[in-house]
Chain A
Amino acid sequence: MIPNSFDYVAAKSLDEALSLLGKHKDDAKVLAGGHSLIPAMKLRLAQPQILIDISRIKELAYIREDDGQIRIGATTTHYQIESSDLLRRACPLLPETATFLGDVQVRNKGTIGGSLAHADPGADWPAAVIALNAEITAAGPKGERTIKVEQFFTGMLSTALQPGEILREIRFSVPKGRVGQCYRKFRHPASGFAVVGVAVSLLLDGSGKCQSAGVGVTGVSPKPYRASAVENALKGSALDGKSMSGAAAHASDGVDANTDLFASGEYRRHLAVVYTRRALEMASSRAK
């Protein structure tokens, strides 16, 4: 219940946060909403010497649309995403995903950047950002770099963020045209994390066929993944029941699935298929 002692600095700017991080290196942890970090600290699974609080940096909390791109600042809370009129209109997948995430209190405080950087295998956002082909901007001592979402998640609780870097922004192109999106989740009865979570973003062509599909899956394996086989199978398909269930059948192809007290790897792989199909059906009905 009680974390170790540490020093605390509320950074006023991203530059200050980066320079503090550069100075304290592994002794430091970046604190945004704290909803991944603080529980770990309370169980003393994480014992940082210094916390650099970036939640007060105004330049990091925003949701905006520029040149056909949506940009979401790292310290934007789950609730800000859930309640964003811009996103509800331009990319309802994100608000929908948020409603499945944790609980009201967690959504009020937890941030999208914090959740992505923590990379819990049962986190919800990874599925959505994969489905949206998002890019993640990392700010570091040498400036900013952009990481494609596929490269961002490198394993259980690990990401492509380098020491000294802070996740700065999530951005993606606004889906335009006949778009249908959906997030579906099998919720762990105790923790509320995703046993399986599937995010789908479909773009239909003029004839109602699938022009492109983004399908992200979380909860199933140590790191979230893009269900490429599903996406490929959908491309050009009529999005009828048969094509969608045929495509969804590939949702866990070649995936090394997690086993825990609640669900075996085999079951998770199966759930990924079912939830992918259900998310596809809902997304396509929304697009039509």
Chain B
Amino acid sequence: MAEKYFGKRQKRTEDPRLIQGLAHYVDDIKLPDTLHAVFLRSIYAHARIKSIDTSEAKKAPRVIAVYTGKDVSAKIGAVPCAAALPELKVPDHRVLATDKTYFVGHPVAVVVAEDRYAARDAADLIQVDYDELPVVMDEEKAAQGGPVVHEQFKTNIAYKLTAGEGDVEAALKSADKVIQQRILHRRLAPIAMEPRGVLARYYPGEQELTLWTSTQIPHLARTQIALMLGMAENKLRLIAPEVGGGFGSKLNVYGEEALLGWIAMQLNRPVKWIETRRENIQATIHGRGQTGYIEIGYKNDGTLTGLRYNVYADMGAYFQLLTPAIPTLTGLMLSGCYKIPAIQINITGVFTNKMATDAYRGAGRPEATYVVERALDLVAAEMGKDPVEVRRKNMPAPHEFPFKTATGLFYDSGNYEGALKKALDMANYTKLRDDQSKARKEGRLVGIGVSTYVEICAIGPSAATPAGGWESATVRIEPTGKVTILTGASPHGQGQETSFAQVAGDELGVNINDVTVIHGDTAIVQYGIGTFGSRGTAVGGTAVYYALQKLKEKANKLAAHMLGVENGPVDFKDGKFSKDGKSVTIQEVALTAYLGKNLPADMEPGLSAIHFFEPKNFTFPFGTHIAVVEIDRETGEVHFQRYVAVDDCGKVINPLLVDGQVQGGIVQSLGQALYEEIVYDEQGQLVSGTLMDYAVPRASHVPWLELDRTETPTDVNPMGVKGVGEAGTIGATPAIVAAVVDALSPFGIRHLDMPIKPETVWRIIGKKGAA
């Protein structure tokens, strides 16, 4: 019997090139005569551009061209925003600043030179005369009035939106107690290790433009950039080569991408731009950025009655692809994994003089989970109950699925209690609490944080997404029997070259080394959506699965014909079709399909199938994370003692990859909880503008992560897979914050805003009576 791949800890087929330095990220692609672009960016958060003098820069050695907003604004369309909301105020977002700059890092001019050193030198020679304008930094204050970012709107409020079901006012009134809490979700920088980069080449004969760009959404970017450039979409070939991480920051269409394409066409030479890390922190989207107010009502027995979340969402100065839509995802997930009869979110989207916010791993859902989990902890603290007890009280039982929330969702499947119990057992929760009481008696500050989460994955049904929520796949068996999969998903580290090959290996009975998964090139791959929202496997993989079924159907028919049993069924096992002791391999069937000499009368030659999979719902993975910390009471430093997580992402194709996704997500959460924060000062200067100040977690910051899973399949797709890419960033943050808060509960602390820095903790201990 052939090896079964589904469920196997299969090491990745993409790794040999990556571990030998043989992969090709954008900057690794070399074309002869390539020019290099360097951007000059605004040093002010808000300023009028009185004049730009590029004459010295243009005269500098090896410089080919310098462009400003005046040169390109009429020629290149606006940077797109795909989010459609009622009465949304959409600023005109040009690829280069025209009359004003709106944030530090706003591109003002671009220098194109024979090499990047010359381009960088010339950028220093551009003289920009600015008039500084009043800046708008705080989203909450900006919503109330004061200076405005965009004069034409006369307000900083980009939109207001109320969502949710049930009578929240009545629900909160019916509660025995209502708890209120202000809560901050700081701005974060995604920090994909590969910064953004673009290489553009124009072929004048074919009138075709090829763009290599570090993106998560090659096809959507192609459509949008073609529109920006006013060219036929099928004359633009967009290639996402090896992509060095995205985390949502490359789920976007950036002005630089279109501008580089335009420059390549202007100059008729290849042109490349590679973002520096400083630019990346200034001018690649930020995540999160919400100031919110929670109100949660509950009965004396702990039953939740209603939840309201009023939130000021920091948009930044402009919209990127999904900017205003992100807080609406927060609204969708506010029920968490609890029965809350009435839920309301009131979103105020606010312009500020900062870089745009947009999707960062989790995209609105970590915010929701954090809100709900903090709220549950506040209820538990107020009631003097164990946080686990309050959670259990309000969880739907397995038989209550599909479960309808007051945010309008149907949770497909779930066994929240099951994952919770498993995690509590792994952590030995009862003993942890006993040890904690003992430690407290010794004056030690030990804290235990529990988060039970649900997330919305496999995004998603087209009805619920701005631009198509399906995914596509082509599967073909080549004449020699090799299997090619073209996926519309665009993996950039998630490992679907391997997991899709595993699926094909099992379905076709072939060795995974005979399967090649191709993605990211719009000239090769049929239109697709891309990789984000934990959709790669659950939606993209499902498309592959269905395409395989279609292909097998045809192969089966042909095999029957070859075996002379036209009308009867044949068996298919381990890559062989057989009947009555005779058999043909799937490779033989493929060759026959291409030779075309021996086909059933009604059969087209060739052996390939395409499928566009439209999911009927999202999926809703869930789990429980438990963090145990001890605080150094002299310094306020937080030290992890344990970290336990049980995640349920349905069926698992490759546990190795799932572990990797969960671990990476938890560590990004850990960064958010304890270290990471984009800080602008009152003048709008970006204070945390390099990795010297913006603390991405390092190996030594991270405890050993004890992971396990439960497996509750979904019927949203036939493989029962749910998605796991964002689980860690959604489940872990509240657990870590809760653990620190719990450790400090002897000082009367019930909530702390992230990142929880040692000094904050020290001040609490110091002020509230250090022992």
Q: Taking the nearest CB of chain A, how far is it from the CB of B103, in angstroms?
A: 19
CB distance from B616 to the nearest CB of A (A): 45
Q: Does B635 contact A (CB under 8 A)?
A: yes
Report yes or no: B759 in contact with A264, Cβ–Cβ below 8 A: yes
Residues of A within 8 A of B694 (CB): 190
Among residues of B, the one whose C-beta sits closest to the C-beta of A196 is: B635
Residue in A closest to B275 when the chains form the complex, CB atoms: A1
Q: Beyond A190-B691, A267-B759, A270-B762, is A2–B635 a contact (Cβ under 8 Å)?
A: no
Q: Is the CB of A1 within 8 A of B276?
A: yes
* Chain A neighbourhood of B121, CB < 8 A: 2, 4-5
Besides A1-B276, A262-B759, 4 new A-B residue pairs in contact (Cβ under 8 A), listed by A number: A2-B121, A186-B637, A261-B679, A262-B757
- Residue-wise interface mask of A (245-288) relative to B, using a CB-CB cutoff of 8 A (1 in contact, 0 not): 00000000000000001111001001100100000000000000
Complex Cα spacing A261 to B759, Å: 11
How far does the Cβ of B650 sit from chain A's closest Cβ, in whole Å?
36
In the assembled complex, A162 has its CB within 8 A of some CB on chain B: no
Tell me the nearest residue of chain A to B696, going by C-beta: A190
Taking CB atoms, residues of chain B closer than 8 Å to A186 are 635, 637
- Taking a contact as CB atoms under 8 Å apart, the answer to whether B634 and A274 are in contact is yes
Contacts of A1-42 to chain B: CB distance below 8 A: 1-2, 4-5
A267 near B762: Cβ-Cβ < 8 Å: yes
Residue of B nearest to A4 (CB): B121
Is A207 an interface residue when CB atoms closer than 8 A count as contact? Answer: no
> Chain B residues with Cβ under 8 A from A2's Cβ?
116-117, 120-121
Q: Which residues of A are found within 8 Å of B690, using beta-carbon distances? A: 43
- Alpha-carbon gap, A188 to B701, bound state (A): 11
Q: Residue-by-residue, is B659-697 near A (CB-CB < 8 Å gives 1, otherwise 0)? A: 000000000000000110001000000011011111111
Q: Give A contacts to B, CB under 8 Å.
A: 1-2, 4-5, 43-44, 186, 188-191, 261-264, 267, 270-271, 274
Chain B residue, CB-CB nearest to A42: B276
Q: A189 and B701 in contact (CB under 8 A), knowing A2-B116, A4-B121?
A: yes
Chain B residues near A263: list those with CB within 8 A.
757-759
Q: Which of A189, A271, A274 contacts B695 (CB 8 A)?
A: A189
Residues of B within 8 A of A267 (CB): 758-759, 762-763
**CB of A149 to closest CB in B, whole Å:** 27
Given contacts A261-B687, A263-B759, contact A190 B701 (CB under 8 A): no
Instruction: Output the least CB separation between A259 and chain B (Å).
Output: 10
**What residues of chain A lie closer than 8 Å to B278, measured between beta carbons?**
43
Is A274 a contact of B635 with CB atoms below 8 Å? yes
In the complex, the 4 A-B pairs of residues with the closest C-beta atoms, listed nearest first: A190-B695, A189-B695, A2-B120, A267-B759
Known contacts being A189-B695, A190-B675, A264-B759, is A271 close to B276, with CB within 8 Å? no
Closest residue to A1 on the B side, CB-wise? Answer: B276
Q: How close is A38's CB to chain B, nearest CB, in angstroms? A: 14
How far is B303's CA from A88's CA once the two chains are assembled, in angstroms? 63
B688 touches A261 (CB 8 A): yes
Residues of B within 8 A of A44 (CB): 124
CB distance from A122 to the nearest CB of B (A): 10
A186 to B693, CA, bound (A): 15
A264–B701 Cα distance when bound, in Å, is 22
Residue in B120, B277, B687 with the greatest tally of chain A CB atoms within 10 Å: B120
**A191 x B692 contact (CB < 8 A):** yes
A-B contact pairs, 30 of them (CB 8 A): A1-B277, A2-B116, A2-B117, A2-B120, A2-B121, A43-B690, A44-B124, A186-B637, A189-B674, A189-B695, A189-B697, A190-B675, A190-B693, A191-B692, A191-B693, A261-B679, A261-B687, A261-B693, A262-B693, A262-B757, A263-B757, A263-B758, A264-B759, A267-B758, A267-B759, A267-B763, A270-B762, A270-B766, A271-B635, A274-B634
Whose C-beta in chain A lies nearest to the C-beta of B120? A2
Q: How far is the CA of A274 from the CA of B693 in the complex (A)?
A: 24
A1 to B687, CA, bound (A): 18
CA A188 to CA B637, docked complex, whole Å: 12
Q: How far is the CA of A279 from the CA of B701 in the complex (A)?
A: 22
Shortest distance from the beta carbon of A244 to any chain B beta carbon, whole Å: 14
Contacts of A1 in B (CB 8 A): 120, 276-277
Kindly list chain B residues whose C-beta atoms are within 8 Å of the C-beta of A274.
Answer: 634-635
- Tell me the complex Cα distance, A271–B757, Å: 14
Distance of A58 Cα from B278 Cα, bound (Å): 37
User: Of all chain B residues, which has the CB nearest A264?
Assistant: B759
* A4 vs B118: C-alpha distance when bound (angstroms): 10
Smallest CB–CB gap between A231 and chain B, Å? 22
CB distance from B104 to the nearest CB of A (A): 15
- Shortest C-beta distance, A184 to chain B (Å), equals 11
Report the Cα distance A4→B120, complex, angstroms: 9
A43 to B281, CA, bound (A): 14
Question: Using Cβ atoms and an 8 Å threshold, which residues of chain B touch A5?
Answer: 121
Across the interface, name the chain B residue whose C-beta is closest to A260: B693
Q: A44 vs B125: C-alpha distance in the bound complex, in angstroms? A: 14
What is the CA–CA distance of A189 and B757 in the complex, to the nearest angstrom?
10
Task: Report the separation of the CA atoms of residues A43 and B701 in the bound assembly, to the nearest whole angstrom.
Answer: 27
* Measured CA separation A261–B688 after assembly (Å): 8
A271 to B763, CA, bound (A): 12
Question: With a CB–CB cut-off of 8 A, which chain B residues contact A264?
Answer: 759
Q: Provide the B249-281 mask, 1 if CB < 8 A to any CB of A, else 0.
A: 000000000000000000000000000111000
Closest beta carbon of chain B to A46's beta carbon, Å:
14
What are the residues of chain B within 8 A of A188 when measuring CB–CB? 695
Closest to B636 in A: A267
Instruction: Give Cα A271 to B635, complex, Å.
Output: 7
The answer to whether B692 and A190 have CB atoms under 8 Å apart is yes
| Residues from 479 to 519 in B contacting A, C-beta threshold 8 Å | none
Assess the A189–B276 pair: CB atoms within 8 A.
Answer: no
B674, closest chain A residue (CB): A189
A281 to chain B, nearest CB (A): 12
Give complex CA distance A264, B763 in Å.
Answer: 11
Residues of A with C-beta under 8 A to B698: 189
Quote the shortest CB–CB distance from A287 to chain B (angstroms). 23
Alpha-carbon distance A190/B701, docked complex (angstroms):
11
Q: Would A189 and B675 count as touching, CB distance under 8 A?
A: yes
- The docked-state distance in angstroms from the alpha carbon of A270 to that of B763 is 11
Instruction: Say how far A48's CB is from chain B's closest CB, in angstroms.
Output: 15
Chain B, residue nearest A5 (CB):
B121
A residues in contact with B692, CB < 8 Å: 190-191
Please measure, in the bound complex, the distance between the C-alpha atom of A186 and the C-alpha atom of B116, giving whole angstroms: 39
**B91-123: which residues lie under 8 A (CB-CB) from chain A?**
116-117, 120-121
CA distance A40 to B455 in the complex (A): 44
Bound Cα distance A263, B637 (Å): 12
Instruction: State the CA gap A100–B759 with chains docked (Å).
Output: 21
Q: Nearest chain B CB to A198's CB is how many angstroms away?
A: 13
- Inter-chain CA distance A261–B692, complex, in Å, is 11
- Residue of B with least CB distance to A263: B759
A189 to B695: give the CA distance in the assembly, Å.
Answer: 6
Minimal beta-carbon separation of A103 from chain B (angstroms): 9
A190 to B671, CA, bound (A): 11
Q: In the complex, how many angstroms separate the beta carbon of B156 from the nearest chain A beta carbon? A: 26
Question: What B residues does A189 contact at CB under 8 A?
Answer: 674-675, 695, 697-698, 701
